Chain A
Amino acid sequence: MTTEATPQIATEGNQASPILTVDAVTKTYGEGHTAVTAVHEASMQVSKGEFVSLLGPSGSGKTTLISMIGGLLTPTSGRVQVGDVAVSDLESKQLTSFRAERVGFVFQASNLVPFLTARENLIWVASLRKDHGRTARKAAGRRADELLEELGLTQRAGNVPEQLSGGERQRVAIGRALMNDPDLVLVDEPTASLDTEMGRQVVQLLRREIKDRGKTGIMVTHDLRMVEYTDRVFEITDGLLEPGGDPAEHAAGGHATKH
């Protein structure tokens, strides 16, 4: 892992020291005349304890951007820094460790392991850490129980995903994302397969967990009603990232951008 000085990038509403810095990041697929730039010189900073949303129409580059932030894709140019880690400089194996220990993911379709119970899904993620000795295993069990209790899933801890509702599955996925105490939680369309009320509950819960634990969250969403639960909005259109205005304004439908 590489430690680098973090440059100051002026970003709307950001006062505290940033845990995430994205600096002039570009991702281009292909070469020559077939090259497609999915993200063009995107820059953003997000502070510890912030929960921000990333809006943009399909194909705008938002998935590519959070993939680079989460160490799933390597930028063509520019720099991604999470805490003291220069993510964009990491090798493939280092990225695997980085994702296991520093990032939590909540996927659109939960993607829980179907043959593990809710509690086991959480504990398994803890086994991806390098320090997974006997003591760590016991601690993982306690942490899983604690998270499940906070998420209101204690009674469902022994159920496998197919025995859970869509909302419960997403709550388990939130627990899994927080299990390894990550710096960053990346959330991909968490309400896509939920009804409005369930979606609202899940995002509220997500916000509470991120805030209570002092984590940093980035939520990709199409659902403008969920934006009100975030602190800030970023918008990306045709690969160009820019601050997206007031979350309340988006939620009220008053912002000009269409999604």
Chain B
Amino acid sequence: MNLAVAEFRRAKGRFVSITGALSLIVFLVLILGALGDGLFFGGTGAVRSSTAQAYAFSADAEGSLIRSSLPLAAESELEAVDGVEQATAIGALITTTSSVPGGEDLVVMGFLPEDDPAGVPGTILEGRLPGPQDPSGVAVDKALADAGLGMGTTLAVGGVSQEVVGVVDDAGYQGLPTAWTSLATYADMRAAVRPEFAGQPVQPSVFGLALAEGVSADQVVPPAGIVVASNEETYLSIPGTREQKSSLDAIIYASLAVAGLVVALFFALVVLEKRELFAALKALGASTTRLGSGVVLQAIGATVTAVIVGATAAWLMGQVLPSDIPFLFRPETLLFSAVLTVTAGVVGALLSLRRISRIDPATALGGTL
């Protein structure tokens, strides 16, 4: 018979407060985690899930696709570099489309339609991307399709219209949905919304790079005036991404530390309250290890219950939040938070072991407690 389990089953009231408090912390951690994931995945997909292993930027771009500008001629220079198999010109333009009622901000991504382009979305849900045989049309991010720009509809930017011929997934950039079209159409749209570019030659922002097998971005020696960053470095350099992630991570870790302290405080009080009983049980022959493992088991029980309750509440919250709030409930984040919560609980409970070890069984006699 396990005392810890029996107490957990029979004296539920004792654990309601701790489980309730931990559930709220887990709920907070998971909501923050889901918002963080929503922001991160919504803002980086265009790079993170793309077919490029690395990107070439102009030297002053600081990792931003929007700020970068390279001549089209750089393509041949990049493809001549050791380790680079293909370089695909990509233009990026933040603009607004009037094709959705009320307008919708988006990033138009223009790329040179060619075989196996580097830097285009890796997941095509429906239709196709503009290709070498048929460079017309636009493939839109799922978020735009959900907003009404489905297959066969028309996307218009600054008077330049293209039929939607494909829907892609996980392709957001800087928190905005993207639309993928040919570099020529991109240039037309850019000239339409920013007249200062009218009549100028097509100029891509960056090049998506496909690298030879076994070659990493830091091994590529780019031509003068060009910098090369890995896919990961590129999406982590998207303005705000690193800062958002580190801020939310700091809040999450602080919350988990609070969870550990709550458990430590709770079990410290429990041990204090049970001093007399523990002294008697030790006098009867129960070891500190046995009593301590019971406390740890109860901490695990309380934190696991809290994870279940908190996760259910967070998931339900996600179901009722407006769709424009970037909320992504990922199993990986849930598992990570659950493991950390239980670990924090166990560590908190372990702190009470010293108190248990210091209870003198001799105090059970003589009514000295």
- 5 smallest CB-CB distances across A and B, nearest first, come from A100-B285, A63-B366, A111-B280, A72-B362, A115-B10
B277 interfacial contact with A, CB 8 Å? yes
Interface string of A105-137 (1 = CB under 8 A from B): 101110101111000100111011000000000
Determine if A188 and B1 form an interchain contact, defined as CB atoms under 8 angstroms apart: no
Partner of B367, one of A105, A108, A115: A108
Given contacts A120-B6, A160-B10, A192-B367, are A73 and B283 in contact (CB under 8 A)? no
Complex CA–CA separation, A98 to B7 (angstroms): 27
Q: Is A99 an interface residue (CB 8 A)?
A: yes
* B272 on the A face (CB < 8 A): no
What residues of chain B lie closer than 8 Å to A127, measured between beta carbons?
Answer: 1
The reply to whether A115 and B6 contact each other, CB–CB distance below 8 Å, is yes
Is the CB of A101 closer than 8 A to any CB of chain B? yes
State the CA gap A107–B369 with chains docked (Å).
12
* Chain A facing B: main interface SS: mixed
- 174-221 of chain A: CB within 8 A of chain B: 176, 186, 188-189, 192, 220
Taking CB atoms and an 8 Å cut-off, the chain B residues in 3-29 that contact chain A are 3, 6-7, 10-11
Contact partner, B287, options A67, A96, A160, A189, Cβ 8 Å = A96
A111-B365 in contact given A70-B283, A128-B284, A128-B286 (Cβ < 8 Å)? no
Q: Is B276 close to A, CB under 8 A? A: yes
A206 to chain B, nearest CB (A): 16
| One of A113, A115, A189, A192 near B281 (C-beta < 8 A) | A113
Question: Judging by beta carbons under 8 Å apart, are A97 and B365 in contact?
Answer: no
Min C-beta distance of A52 to chain B, whole Å: 16
Q: Tell me whether A85 is interfacial, beta carbon within 8 Å.
A: no
Q: How distant is the Cα of A223 from the Cα of B77 in the complex, in angstroms?
A: 104
Whether A86 sits at the interface, judged by CB under 8 Å, is: no
CB of A90 within 8 Å of the partner chain = no
CA distance A114 to B364 in the complex (A): 16
Task: Name the one of B6, B11, B365 contacting A63, with C-beta atoms under 8 angstroms.
Answer: B365
Is B361 in contact with chain A by the CB < 8 A criterion? yes
Q: Is there contact, CB below 8 Å, between A189 and B6? A: no
Q: Give chain A nearest CB distance to B36 CB in angstroms.
A: 41
Q: Verify B367–A116 contact, CB threshold 8 A.
A: no
How many angstroms from the CA of A256 to the CA of B362 in the assembled complex?
Answer: 31
The residue that B284 contacts in the complex, of A67, A100, A108, A115, with Cβ under 8 A, is A100
Assess whether B283 is in contact with A72, with CB atoms less than 8 Å apart: yes
User: Min CB distance, B285 to chain A, in Å?
Assistant: 2
Q: A96-B285, A125-B284 known; A109 and B367 CB under 8 Å?
A: yes
Given the known A-B contacts A72-B283, A105-B364, are A111 and B276 also in contact in the complex, defined by CB atoms under 8 Å? yes
How far, in angstroms, from A116 to B364 measured CA to CA in the complex?
Answer: 19
Interfacial residues, chain B to chain A (CB-CB below 8 A):
1, 3, 6-7, 10-11, 276-277, 280-287, 361-362, 364-368
Q: Can you name 8 A-B residue pairings with CB atoms under 8 Å?
A: A72-B365, A100-B284, A105-B280, A116-B3, A127-B1, A128-B284, A186-B365, A189-B367
Interface flags for A53-80 (1: CB within 8 Å of B; 0: not) read: 0000000000100110010110000000
Q: Which chain B residues lie closer than 8 Å to A105 at the CB level? A: 280, 283-284, 364-365
A residues with a Cβ closer than 8 A to B are 63, 66-67, 70, 72-73, 93, 96-101, 105, 107-109, 111, 113-116, 120, 123-125, 127-128, 160, 176, 186, 188-189, 192, 220
B residues within 8 A CB of A100? 284-286
* Pick from B284, B361, B366: contact of A188, CB under 8 Å: B366
Known: A72-B361, A160-B10. A128 touches B366 (CB 8 A): no
**Residues of the A chain whose Cβ atoms lie less than 8 Å from the Cβ of B281:** 111, 113
B366 touches A113 (CB 8 A): no
Give the Cβ gap from A87 to chain B, nearest Cβ, in Å: 13
CA distance A186 to B362 in the complex (A): 13
Residues of A within 8 A of B364 (CB): 72, 105, 107, 111
In the bound assembly, the distance between CA atoms of A243 and B276 in angstroms comes to: 32
Given A114-B11, A115-B7, 19 other A-B contacts at CB below 8 A?
Answer: A63-B368, A66-B365, A72-B361, A96-B287, A97-B285, A98-B285, A99-B285, A99-B361, A100-B284, A100-B286, A107-B280, A107-B365, A108-B366, A108-B367, A111-B280, A113-B277, A124-B1, A125-B285, A188-B365
Residues of chain A within 8 A of B11, CB atoms compared: 114-115
With a CB–CB cut-off of 8 A, which chain B residues contact A128? 284-286
Closest A residue, CB atoms, query B9: A115
Choice from A66, A67, A97, A113 contacting B3 with Cβ under 8 Å = A113
Residues of chain A within 8 A (CB-CB) of B7 are 115
Give the distance to chain B from A235, nearest Cβ to Cβ, in Å.
17
Residues of A within 8 A of B3 (CB): 113, 116, 124
CA distance A227 to B281 in the complex (A): 28
A109 surroundings in chain B (CB, below 8 A): 276, 367
Q: Is the CB of B361 within 8 A of A111?
A: no
Residue of A with least CB distance to B290 = A128
Q: Which residues of A contact B6 (CB under 8 A)?
A: 115-116, 120
- Contact partner of A67 (CB less than 8 A), chosen from B1, B282, B362, B367, is B362
Q: Are A99 and B284 in contact (CB under 8 A)?
A: yes
Complex Cα gap A105–B367 (Å): 13
Shortest B290–chain A CB gap in Å is 8
Taking CB atoms, residues of chain B closer than 8 Å to A188 are 365-367
Q: What residues on B are CB-neighbors of A189 within 8 Å?
A: 367
Inter-subunit contact B1/A120 (CB<8 Å): yes
Contacts of A160 in B (CB 8 A): 10
